[in-house]
A and B are shown apart, each in its own frame.
Chain A
C-alpha cells in the first residue's frame, strides 16, 4: 500500500517534470522562430509609375538606349523594346513594332495604333519573361508574332496579342500610341494588368 503511494508520488512528479520540460522546449523553439517572422524584406522593383498621355518612348536596349524613337527609325516589320521616358521601370517595358496598318484586326484596339505602330507590354503574362518580336517564320508560325522564350508562348500581334500557343493565361496588355513631333509617344496607360498576377488572381 505504502509502496504504491510512494510510486504514485514519484510518477506524478515525473509527469509534471516532463510537462514542464515540454513547455520549456516549445517556448524556446517559439522564441527562436518568432524573430524570423519579423524579418522585413527590402523593397525591390515593386510597382510602376503609370504611363501618361504624351510620355515619349525611348529605346530600352541596344546602342541607342535612352534615345527617343522617331517615326522614321522603324520600317515595317521592325520592332524594339522601349520604355516611357523618365519611367524606366521593369514593369513599364514595352514592345513596339511596326506593321501595315490594314493588318490589325479586332480585338486589337485599332485606335491605339498609329501609322502601323503598335505597342504591347513586353512582360509575358505567364511568368514575367520578356517577349520578343519575330517578324518572320519561327517554328510553325510563319507570320509576325510575339514570342516568349521561357515557355514558348506565341502572341498574335494582329489580334490583340491573343495567345496562339503556349501556357500564357492572358493576352498582353496594349498601350495606346500617338505621334508627337515626329517621335512615338504613349497616349495613355496599358489597358490591363502587367505580367503574372500574384496569388492566381
Chain B
C-alpha cells in the first residue's frame, strides 16, 4: 500500500532495479571493510549517547571536597549511570575494532593486488581514512582527561612543538595554547565530535562511491566461471543485505561482550591528572611510532642553522612515520599496468611486492615489541639490530618461497 503510493510518485521500481540488484561477490575477507564501516556507525551512535553527559572542560570543579577536572568528573557521572560505563566501553572498543578491521582490510587489498589500476584512487582514499581514524582515536583518548589522557596528549603536543621553525605555532594552534590550556579540551572535543566524524563520513562516502562506480574486484576463481565483465555474486537485496545485517549485529554483540568482560580505559583506576607520570603506553595502533621514538638515539640531531634543528623526536615521531605512510600510499604507482585489473591477482605474481609487504608487517610487529623493550629487558641495541634485520630476513624468505613455488 505505502509502497504503491510512494512508487507512483518516486518511481521506486527503477531504483530497485538499478541499485538493489547490485551484485556483491562473496568472500569472507570482504567483511573487514564492512566491520570497519559498522564500527563507525556504532561509534556515532554510542558517541551521541556520551555527548548527552560529557562536559568538554578541564576547569576544576569541587566534588565532595576534592577538586576534579569537569571532563573527568563528567566521565565518573557517565560511569555511574546504569548503562553508562558499558556504552563508554563499547565506544572505546569500537574504536579498536574499527582500526583493526581497517588494517586487515588494507592487508587483504594489498596481497590480492587490487590496489592496481583502476583502483589507485580508493587506495589513496583508504589511506586518508586510516589516518583520520587514528586521529579520531588520539583525540578521543584525550577527552576523559584522566592522568593517561593528559600524559598521552601532552606527548603529542611536544612532538608537534619540536618541529623546527613552525612547530610551536602549529602546536599552539592545534591544541589552543600550550597543552593543557583552558582551551585545549574544548578544541580537542570539537575535532573529535564534529570535524573528524564529518571528514570521516565524507571520505567513507567517497570510498563507497568509487567502489560502486568501479564495481567490486573479484576472487580469481570467478574468472573461469563468470563471463568477463560480469560479477559473480549475490544481489544486494535480499541476500547481501541479510549478510550485512548479520555482520552488523554480530559486530555489535561482540562489542557489548568485550565491553562487559574487558574494561578499557578505567578512569577510576587511573585517576585524575597528577604531577606524577604513570607508566604509559600508547594504544596498540600507535605502538610502532612509540617504538621508533625509543629506537632513535638521543644524539641524532640534524642542525639547521643556529636557532633550530631537527630533533630525534621529530625524526622518530613525524619524519619516519611520515615516510613509511607515504611509501604505503604510493604502492599503486609502483606498478605499470596497461589493462585494468578486475580479478584478484595471486600474490606470487608480484614476488617483490609481496615480500616487501611481509617485511613491512614484520617491521610493524618488531617496532611494537620494541615499545615494551624496557619491560622485556631487551637492550636497545638489540632492538635496533632486529628491527632492521628481521624485515630484511622476512623479505628474502618470502621471496625464495615464491621463487621455489614458481619453479615447481
Contact = CB atoms under 8 A, between A and B. Distances in A.
The answer to whether A and B belong to the same complex is yes
Interface of A: 39, 41-46, 60-61, 81, 90, 93, 122, 126-132, 139-140, 148-152, 163, 165-169, 196-201
B177 A196 contact: no
A201 B177 contact: no
Most buried by B among A60, A81, A129: A129
Contacts of A43: 177-178, 181
8 closest A-B pairs by beta carbon, nearest first, are A44-B181, A41-B177, A200-B311, A44-B178, A152-B374, A127-B158, A129-B277, A130-B277
B83 interface: no
Contacts of B237: none
A55 to B, nearest CB: 18
Contacts of B313: 126-127, 167, 196, 200
B180 interface: yes
B299 to A, nearest CB: 7
User: Which among B151, B297, B316 has the highest number of chain A CB atoms within 10 Å?
Assistant: B151
Contacts of B137: none
A196 B314 CA distance: 12
B211 interface: no
A132 B175 CA distance: 27
Nearest to A44: B181
Contact of B294 (A122, A149, A167): A167
B183 A42 contact: yes
Nearest to B297: A167
A198 B380 contact: no
B182 A44 contact: yes
Given A126-B313, A127-B313, A149 B278 contact: yes
A148 B293 CA distance: 14
SS of A interface (majority): loop
B167 interface: yes
B154 A127 contact: yes
Interface string B207-235: 00000000000000000000000000000
Given A41-B183, A166-B298, A167-B296, A198 B177 contact: no
B164 A166 contact: no
A172 to B, nearest CB: 13
A197 B307 CA distance: 11
30 contacts: A41-B173, A41-B177, A44-B179, A44-B183, A44-B184, A45-B178, A45-B180, A61-B274, A61-B275, A93-B275, A127-B158, A129-B277, A131-B277, A132-B277, A139-B377, A148-B277, A151-B290, A151-B294, A152-B374, A166-B298, A166-B380, A167-B297, A167-B298, A168-B298, A169-B298, A197-B311, A199-B161, A199-B168, A200-B162, A201-B309
B146 to A, nearest CB: 15
Contacts of B164: 199-200
A85 to B, nearest CB: 16
A197 B311 CA distance: 10
Contact of A199 (B151, B162, B181, B275): B162
A136 to B, nearest CB: 16
B172 interface: yes
Given A128-B158, A198-B167, A199-B163, A44 B177 contact: yes
Instruction: Tell which of A81, A140, A151, A198 has the most Cβ of chain B within 10 Å.
Output: A198
B194 interface: no
Contact of B279 (A44, A60, A140, A149): A149
Nearest to A167: B298
Nearest to A151: B294
A61 to B, nearest CB: 5
B312 interface: yes
